[in-house]
């Protein structure tokens, strides 16, 4: 396990550097601090997971890094260059269903290439490669409505990868899926991440998912959110969901829950107080 202060001390230029990113929202009832300064360094090819109770600012952090939120304090650097706003080096996969229902699987994946002016033949060839990568070859001419939730989320992942982003951000990408699909899709994400050596930042509520996928798990405090603790997951790679029954896996889940329980309890207490008023 690592102490909070050592999160951002790697001397080599990291693929993604988040420096003192913080956000305060102004509301009619006064300012709400959603995120206290957060600093994280992520190495090339590293997979980190950020876990925390609802309302801790995980999505705010992701939106700031991904560029959907531009009005924040601190800086985000990709390969040492400060970026603000949406950037092609950073790809995002969203929690909600985000495939375009009027496009086939192939045209969904080819979407960013089409927007960039890549020719039809080339973009379709690239999209087919990515559909193969996510295990959807044979479904290229299907519309999203004809596919399952897990398949649609794989299309969204392939579409994000089409642009070859240096950093892949995933905001609870499996939240809307059933447990079995979630586990299998986790395996698929691991396989893709290992094949492409893709630097990845995952936001999740699910402890087992974080342990299954990540090299490091960052636990966030309840509002105002900041990094409470970092847990290094030294499970061997390549990994898969088969590891979930292992003793070491259980140890990490228990360790993370120990810290997370306190924060989740604070969130639950606040929710109950709001409801009682």
Partner 1 sequence: MTAVNTATVVPPVRRRAAGKPLLPPLVARLLFLVFAIGFWEVASRYGWINAFTAPAPSAIWSGFIQIIVAGELGAAFVRTFLEALAASAIGAIGGIAIGWWLHSSKKIGLAYTSWVAAAASAPLVLLYPLFLVIFGRNSSTIVAMGALGCMPPIILKAKDGLDGVRPVLLNVGRAFSLTPRQQFTMIQFPAALPVIFTGIRIGLLFAIINVVGVEFLIAFGGLGELISDLGDRFDYPAMYAAIFFVVLVSIAFFYLTEKLEIWLLSSK
Under the rule (CB under 8 A), what is the footprint of partner 1?
66-68, 86-88, 90-92, 94, 96-98, 100-102, 111-112, 114-115, 143, 145, 159-160, 163
Nearer to partner 1, 92 or 190 (CB): 92
Q: Report the phi/psi class of residue 6: left, alpha or beta, with left for phi > 0 and alpha for psi in -120 to 50.
A: alpha
Nearer to partner 1, 39 or 59 (CB): 59
Is 181 in contact with 148 (CB distance < 8 Å)? yes
Output the smallest distance, CB 183 to partner 1, in A: 24
Output the smallest distance, CB 240 to partner 1, in A: 29
For residue 65, the Cα-to-chain-centroid distance in whole angstroms is: 11
For residue 179, the Cα-to-chain-centroid distance in whole angstroms is: 18
Output the smallest distance, CB 79 to partner 1, in A: 17
Output the smallest distance, CB 207 to partner 1, in A: 25
Nearer to partner 1, 107 or 259 (CB): 107
Radius of gyration of the chain (CA): 19
Is there a cis peptide before residue 238, judged by omega within 30 degrees of 0? yes
* Six-digit token string for 166: 């240096």
Residue 168 CA to residue 197 CA, distance in Å, equals 11
Nearer to partner 1, 139 or 143 (CB): 143
């Amino acid at each position: 396990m690592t102490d909070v202060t050592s999160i951002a001390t790697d001397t080599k230029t990291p693929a993604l550097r988040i420096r003192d990113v913080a956000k305060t929202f102004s509301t009619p009832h006064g300012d709400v601090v959603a995120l206290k300064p957060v600093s994280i360094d992520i190495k090339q090819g590293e997979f980190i997971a950020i876990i925390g109770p609802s309302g801790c600012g995980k999505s705010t952090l992701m939106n700031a890094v991904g560029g959907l939120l531009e009005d924040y304090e601190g800086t985000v650097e990709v390969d040492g260059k400060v970026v603000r706003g949406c950037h092609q080096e950073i790809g995002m996969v969203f929690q909600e269903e985000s495939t375009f229902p009027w496009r086939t699987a192939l045209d969904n994946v080819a979407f960013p290439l089409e927007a960039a002016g890549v020719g039809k033949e080339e973009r379709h060839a690239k999209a087919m490669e990515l559909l193969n990568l996510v295990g959807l070859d044979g479904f290229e001419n299907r519309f999203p409505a004809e596919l399952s939730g897990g398949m649609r989320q794989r299309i969204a992942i392939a579409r994000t990868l089409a642009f070859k982003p240096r950093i892949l951000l995933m905001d609870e990408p499996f939240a809307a899926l059933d447990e079995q699909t979630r586990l299998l899709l986790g395996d698929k994400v691991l396989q893709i991440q290992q094949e492409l050596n893709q630097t990845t930042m995952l936001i999740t509520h699910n402890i087992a998912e974080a342990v299954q996928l990540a090299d490091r798990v960052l636990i966030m405090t309840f509002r105002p959110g900041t990094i409470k603790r970092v847990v290094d997951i030294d499970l061997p790679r390549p990994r898969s969901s088969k590891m979930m029954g292992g003793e070491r896996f259980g140890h990490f889940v228990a360790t993370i829950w120990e810290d997370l329980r306190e924060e989740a309890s604070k969130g639950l207490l606040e929710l109950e107080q709001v409801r009682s008023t």
